[in-house]
């Protein structure tokens, strides 16, 4: 009888002692900001949604592992989302700022209304993103570059925090970049993933390589 090999997710419980990233996209931002390309701008969350979506924060608080290291991007919307999850039942935890997990910088295009953006593009926009994966706004960065910085951070954090659970409250672009790194796919391909506000995506780093556990899991009761 051949010997079993590899690592398998055959049970409802995730194996302990695995280097695991719990990636959460921040909550929805306020309505006026959504009319513009905000990228790495520091725009506020929608206050009404913070109240209305309290049950989703409670689901996330129950879903996330204890103990875990907490990280957020430098942007206030990610930090406020992390605080809301902790206050919804997880318990207060110190969060570290991880700059590599900020959103794609749109440079000089920050604040552009969506109807004016097409006239600025050098290449066609991605069907599921504001710009193409190789488009680099003046003074900003392309999604290819985002994938490189997020991938380098994942590799570094996997070494520094091996065998630990890490909760990272981040952004749609950065989470897609993490999936691109784990799957060894181009940024254009990764932009086909849907990453909704407050969704959870989980990836693991094992001796054999990266594994995707789930993507865009919505915290619904």
**107-116 tens-digit pLDDT:** 999 999 999 9
Are residues 97 and 72 in contact, defined by beta-carbon separation less than 8 angstroms?
A: yes
Question: In terms of Cα–Cα distance, which of 46, 116, 103 is closest to 73?
Answer: 103
Q: What sign does the dihedral 58-64-65-68 (CA atoms) show?
A: negative
Question: In the prediction, which pLDDT does 5 show?
Answer: 54
Question: In the prediction, which pLDDT does 2 show?
Answer: 42
Domains of the chain with bracketed CATH:
19-217 (3.40.50.1240)
Helix (H, G, I), strand (E, B) or coil at 14: coil
Question: In the prediction, which pLDDT does 98 show?
Answer: 98
Question: In the prediction, which pLDDT does 152 show?
Answer: 98
Question: In the prediction, which pLDDT does 1 show?
Answer: 37
Q: Tell me how far apart the alpha carbons of residues 101 and 175 are, in angstroms, rounded to a whole number.
A: 8
Q: For residue 67, is the peptide bond before it cis, meaning its omega torsion is within 30 degrees of 0?
A: yes
- For residue 35, what are the contacts with CB-CB under 8 A and spacing of at least 6? 113, 114
Tell me the whole-structure pTM to 2 decimals. 0.95
Question: In the prediction, which pLDDT does 6 show?
Answer: 60
- The low-confidence residues of the chain, meaning pLDDT below 70, are 1-6
Are residues 69 and 161 in contact, defined by beta-carbon separation less than 8 angstroms?
A: yes
Cα separation values, 136 from 103, 109, 146, 195, Å: 14, 10, 11, 22
Cα separation values, 146 from 28, 49, 57, 149, 221, Å: 21, 28, 27, 5, 33
């Amino acid at each position: 009888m051949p010997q079993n090999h590899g690592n398998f997710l055959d049970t409802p419980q995730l194996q302990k002692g695995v280097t695991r990233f719990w990636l959460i996209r921040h909550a929805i931002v306020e309505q006026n900001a959504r009319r513009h390309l905000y990228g790495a701008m520091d725009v506020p969350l929608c206050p009404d949604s913070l109240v209305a979506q309290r049950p989703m924060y409670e689901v996330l608080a129950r879903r996330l592992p204890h103990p875990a290291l907490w990280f957020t991007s430098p942007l206030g919307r990610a930090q406020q989302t992390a605080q809301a999850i902790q206050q919804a039942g997880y318990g207060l935890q110190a969060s570290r700022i991880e700059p590599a997990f900020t959103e794609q910088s749109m440079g000089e295009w920050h604040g552009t209304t969506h109807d004016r953006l097409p006239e600025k593009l050098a290449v066609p926009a991605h069907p599921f993103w504001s710009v193409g994966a190789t488009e680099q706004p003046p003074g900003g960065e392309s999604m290819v570059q985002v994938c490189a910085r997020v991938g380098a951070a994942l590799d570094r954090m996997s070494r520094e925090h091996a065998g630990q659970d890490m909760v990272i409250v981040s952004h749609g672009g950065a989470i897609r970049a993490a999936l691109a790194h784990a799957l060894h796919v181009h940024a254009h391909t990764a932009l086909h993933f849907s990453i909704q506000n407050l969704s959870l995506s989980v990836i693991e780093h094992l001796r054999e390589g990266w594994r995707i556990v789930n993507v865009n899991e919505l915290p619904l009761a």
